[in-house]
Amino acid sequence: MREIGLGFVGVGFMGEGHIHFCRQLPYAKLVGVADPNLERAREVAAKYNIPHVYSNYDQLLDNRDVEAVIIATPEHLHRDVAVKAANMGKHILLEKPIAHTLQDARAIIEASRKSGVKMMIGYVYRFFPQMKALKDFVAEGLLGQTLTAVVRIDGDISEALRLKGRTTVELYVGVHCIDLLLWYLQDDVTSVYAEAADGEVMRQVNVHDSVCMLLKLRNGATAYIQCGWGAPTNWAGWRKPIAWSSYYGNITPHNIQLVGTKGVAEVRLPPEGVYAADEESIGLKLPCLVAPWAYKAQMEYFLECIREDKKPSPNADEGYRSLEVALAATRSWAEKKPVSLPL
């Protein structure tokens, strides 16, 4: 199996996470990293034995050994990097959301179409086996016509504080919920009504703590999405065992329920069947054992699409759709009225 040379643009928390899992794939060749924080770039490159370190992404893209790039910059910086990478013929795994504006998203889509490169958006929840099991149930027609759907993800408040207000809960957490919903139902959202709730996140970084969305879909279904940074910092915040504390080794509350004319399907995380307690614990430890597996599976799938010349999914068009719904929600809570789609 031939190696695929990978370059990494942005080596913060998510960027290093992708490197962590890519190095576990024998056919992934880690070529170089680029980050304006050169000290950080050198630190990560040394940690994972990556030979080339750059302070800007142009130098990385000029490296002929780089066949594909993983872009994990803040979303407002996605456009320039992704367009340049596409124009240079590099395949792209772009962290969600695709961009922070529809204009930027359209530019990214246009560049990837013109160049013919593979463009995948990093919606990792699709690779959780529980989420995939729900997709299989719906795809086989066992749900019937969808009547209602509920998707809830509550992130850890420490994530909001780490981001220091640079993005909204809709664009950071909400797009995951929206992508899952659209993936399951294969339908279009026609209107969004959203309300926001404020607490500690608003007090500290001036961003809403939680946003609730009521969505109407073209085929008649009604969906409810709750996204927030409501879980306390010490949620699953244990240090031992070490294997439970590595990248993405725990998970905050996730709930999905689909109700149709023929059936009902539901996913709840955590727990995943493993419970433990020790002298340091307050209550039970509930590890997410599949999250590391899912991030690795996501990367395996991306490289498989390159090797076998397949169109990835979630692709750029799907990334646009989830972004559009998230931005409609932002407009809705700001204007205090429902917003029709498309925008």
Q: Which residue has better confidence, 11 or 289?
A: 11
Task: Give per-residue pLDDT as tens, 35-83.
Answer: 999 999 999 999 999 999 999 999 999 999 999 999 999 999 999 999 9
Q: What is the pTM of this model?
A: 0.95
Report the largest interatomic distance among the alpha carbons of the chain, rounded to a whole angstrom: 58
What pLDDT digit, counting tens, does each position of 98-107 carry?
999 999 999 9
pLDDT band at 278 (very low <50, low <70, confident <90, very high): confident
pLDDT > 80? residue 210: yes
pLDDT at 19 over 70: yes
249, pLDDT greater than 70 = no
pLDDT digits (tens, 9 = 90+) for 140-151: 999 999 999 999
Give the H or E element holding residue 130.
helix 129-139
Kindly give the pairing relationship between strand 264-269 and strand 254-260: antiparallel
Rounded to the nearest 5 percent, the helix, strand and coil shares of the chain are 40, 25, 35
Whether residue 26 has pLDDT greater than 80: yes
pLDDT of residue 18: 96
* 213/327 Cα distance (integer angstroms): 11
- Note the pLDDT of residue 250: 59
The H or E element that residue 115 is part of is helix 102-115
Query: What tens digit of pLDDT does each residue of 80-122 get?
Result: 999 999 999 999 999 999 999 999 999 999 999 999 999 999 9
Q: What is the mean pLDDT of the chain?
A: 93
Sorting pLDDT into bands at 50, 70 and 90, what band is 29? very high
Helix (H, G, I), strand (E, B) or coil at 12: coil
pLDDT higher than threshold 90 for residue 188 = yes
**pLDDT above 70 covers what percent of the chain?**
95
Strands 189-197 and 339-340: antiparallel
Per-residue pLDDT band for 235 (boundaries 50, 70, 90) equals low
Q: Where are the beta strands (DSSP E) in the chain?
A: 4-9, 28-34, 52-54, 68-71, 91-95, 119-122, 146-156, 189-197, 210-217, 222-231, 254-260, 264-269, 339-340
* SS3 state of residue 213: strand
- Residue 251 pLDDT > 80: no
pLDDT tens column, 298-307? 999 999 999 9
Please give the Cα distance from 76 to 70 (Å, whole number). Answer: 16
Identify the structural domains of the chain with CATH numbers, from first to last: 4-117 (3.40.50.720), 125-291+322-340 (3.30.360.10)
13-22 helix and 291-307 helix, angle to the nearest 10 degrees:
70
Q: Looking at residue 236, what is its pLDDT?
A: 58
